[in-house]
Amino acid sequence: MKLLQNNGIAALARQLVLWTLAMSLLGSGAAYAQAQQTVVGQVTHLSGVLTVRHADGTRKVLGVKSAILEGDTLITERETYTRVKFIDNAEIVLRPGSEVAVNKYVYDEKKPESDSVAIGLVKGGLRAVTGLVGKRNHDAVNFDTPTATIGIRGTNFGALFCQNDCGGVPSVSGKSPENGLHVDVSSGAVVVSNGGGQQLFQAGQFGYVATPNTPPVIVPPSQGIQVTMPPSISQNNNTGTRYIGKNSDPQCVVQ
């Protein structure tokens, strides 16, 4: 009887050891997989709280010099601005209360045919400056939004998607921006397309898209919404320690 008991205990012990080893290997595999994800950018400027949701669903708080991985979703909290530089020298600046997904970012200096950039503006606003991918292969870069897709043409542009959350965004008319997608172009051009049609917007023009099936339209400057950023984020003079975004810090277009 004692022999049977001892054999049972030994078998249970072996099962526990195997289970522990399997869990350890599984955890190591997940960590290794995350380590192998492609680094496509870096946080260069930040004030406030910036969090990231990785492709595997894990979350963490980012800081200046934090790496951005392909598949990451960046989330800025209230009064948070951040600037990200990508591997092809493209840059985006995010407004407070924004969520942007780096769905795909492929750049190989020696293989232009492999270029592919897909960034999703889920909510909030951003300014974007074209990098090497957008300059050598216009069709390889797309910004997706809930109402339309923005294609670039060597560009500095702003995009703001409102869904009853743009009350504090400044406008020429002084009125709160309407719900939908607002676009402004500082240089170059963008092509905005959706189920309702397609429209080219050139430097100095403003655009608006109300719904996914409403055609993009050019709006007069007096009705346009320009996405602006504080100088300490849009210029290269912030170390990441100065709090910005207050009324005392005027806003400008990122250069």
β-partners of residue 106 are 116
Mean pLDDT of the 173-190 span: 93
Radius of gyration of the chain from Cα atoms?
23
pLDDT at 8 over 60: no
Q: How large a percentage of the chain has pLDDT more than 70?
A: 77
Buried b (16+ CB within 10 A) or exposed e, 121-146: bebbbbbbbbbbbbbebbebbbbebb
Give residue 37's pLDDT band: very low, low, confident or very high (50, 70, 90): confident
Residue 125 structure tokens: 């606003």
pLDDT at 9 over 50: yes
Q: Where are the domains of the chain?
A: 1-36, 40-234
pLDDT in tens, 102-120: 999 999 999 999 999 999 9
Taking the CA atoms of 118, 156, 179 and 208 in sequence, report the sign of the dihedral they define.
Answer: negative
pLDDT at 91 over 80: yes
pLDDT in tens, 199-240: 999 999 999 999 999 999 999 999 999 999 888 786 655 444
Side chain identity, residue 37: Q
In three-state secondary structure terms, 30 is helix
pLDDT in tens, 163-172: 999 988 888 7
Q: What is the mean pLDDT of the chain?
A: 84
β-partners of residue 68 are 41
Residue 148 structure tokens: 């339309």
Question: Looking up tokens 């050019």, which residue turns up?
Answer: 218
Give residue 255's pLDDT band: very low, low, confident or very high (50, 70, 90): very low
Buried b (16+ CB within 10 A) or exposed e, 197-233: eebbbeeebbbbbbeeebbbeebeeeebbbbbbbbbb
Mean pLDDT of the 23-36 span: 47
Taking the CA atoms of 24, 26, 30 and 36 in sequence, report the sign of the dihedral they define.
Answer: positive
The C-alpha atoms of residue 207 and residue 139 are separated, in whole angstroms, by 20
Burial class (CB in 10 A: 0-12, 13-18, 19+), 62: buried
Among 199, 188, 101, CA closest to 150: 199
Top-level CATH class of 40-234? Answer: mainly beta
